[in-house]
Structure 1
Amino acid sequence: MNNTPTNAALAPTRTADQVSVGEALPPHPIPITRTLIVATAIASRDYQDVHHDPELARERGSKDIFMNILTSNGLVEKYVVEWAGPAAVVKKIKIRLGAPNYPGDTMTMTGTVSAVEGRLVTVDVTGTNSLGPHASGQVVVELPAGQEGN
């Protein structure tokens, strides 16, 4: 049976003239499951044992397996693109990792528009879990020109 919704619609892409500095993106909680950590590490070809073997992760000083940076980067990108819309083009992502994402926690993504220069929009993003900021940085997206012709 196909579980794909037939009436699913993508949110419209924002245009540069619809965005202003200081605009807050809606918070987005992401449950950090063991499956998410392991599956995304494997999907990104990161076979380091700290991303799939709890015992070996503990031997290396961690309390459990933890999310890899490629997954964190992808979740940051996904958060901003879902806000911006399907025609947005990611031009740059720069993040720094902090507290690890362990299974059983939730990372809540938040963001604020920090610059609008023509069609380029910079969003300051933070993904925070119960231990503190996990990923923080900036994403620059190019949006379509609006009615003002940005």
Structure 2
Amino acid sequence: MSVKFDDISVGEELPPADVTVTRADLIRYAGASGDFNVIHWNERVATSVGLPGVIAHGMYTMALGGQYVSEWAGDAGAVVEYGTRFTNLVPVPDDEAGATITYSGKITKTDEAARTVTLTLTALHGGQKVLGKAIAVVRLP
């Protein structure tokens, strides 16, 4: 999808998207990021430190949010700013179904001179927010 600045307005909501995260995704992310912390792949260690099980990397859940925004904009280079806080864990079961994170967003500000929009993102897993204060600024044609 390619969105144009003149076609959007404050308050407009982005279509939600469900993203499935599996243990295999966590392994691939660990390899790409270099984050091999055992809580992201070893159930025994994760539960021994009080976690509900293996959890997704926070930066991976953030990256998936960035991908969601990039796909909405139609251009990864259009995302000029993106930040968030991590608010909840995403336990990833050891099965084929994995964990589902639902991303959505809302346009909260436009800047006509810069041709940018500010989006507030929501990322939910099991009805709980996993990203807080997730805000992206996107430059649109």
TM-score tier after normalising by the smaller chain length: 0.7 to 0.9
| Mapping for residues 1-150 of structure 1, pairs under 5 Å | 11=1, 13-86=2-75, 89-103=78-92, 104-118=98-112, 119-130=115-126, 132-136=128-132, 137-144=134-141
Shift of 1:105: 2.6
Q: After superposition, what is the alpha-carbon deviation per residue over 1:95-150, rounded to whole angstroms, capped at 9, x for unaligned?
A: 11122111133110111011111211111001101151011311111111xxxxxx
Query: How many angstroms apart in 2 are the aligned matches of 1:123 and 1:26?
Result: 13
Q: Which amino acid aligns with 1:141?
A: V
The share of aligned pairs that are identical, in percent, is 29
Q: Distance in 2 between matches of 1:99 and 1:131?
A: 11
Q: CA separation of 1:112/1:131 partners in 2, compared to 1, >3 Å: closer, same or farther?
A: closer
Over 3 Å counting, the alpha-carbon distance change for 1:131 and 1:42 in structure 2 is farther
1:88 to partner: Cα distance: 5.0
1:58-86 Cα distance to aligned partner (Å, 9 max, x none): 11111111111221121111101111112
For these two proteins, the number of residue pairs brought into alignment is 133
Where do 4+ consecutive residues of structure 1 move more than 6 Å? none
Deviation at 1:87, TM superposition (A): 6.6
The 8 Å contact of residues 87 and 130 in structure 2, kept in 1 or not, is answered as: yes
Larger proportion of helix: 2
Aligned residue for 2:44, secondary structure, equals: helix
Counterpart contact for 1:108–1:127, Cα < 8 Å = yes
Q: Give the match's secondary structure for 2:130.
A: strand
Q: CA RMSD in A?
A: 1.5
Distance 2:45 2:127 in 1: 22
The TM-score, its normalising length taken from structure 1, stands at: 0.82
Q: Separation in 1 of the partners of 2:27 and 2:88? A: 18
Q: 1:132 & 1:87 partners in 2: Cα distance?
A: 27
The TM-score, its normalising length taken from structure 2, stands at 0.87
**Bigger Rg, structure 1 or 2:** 1
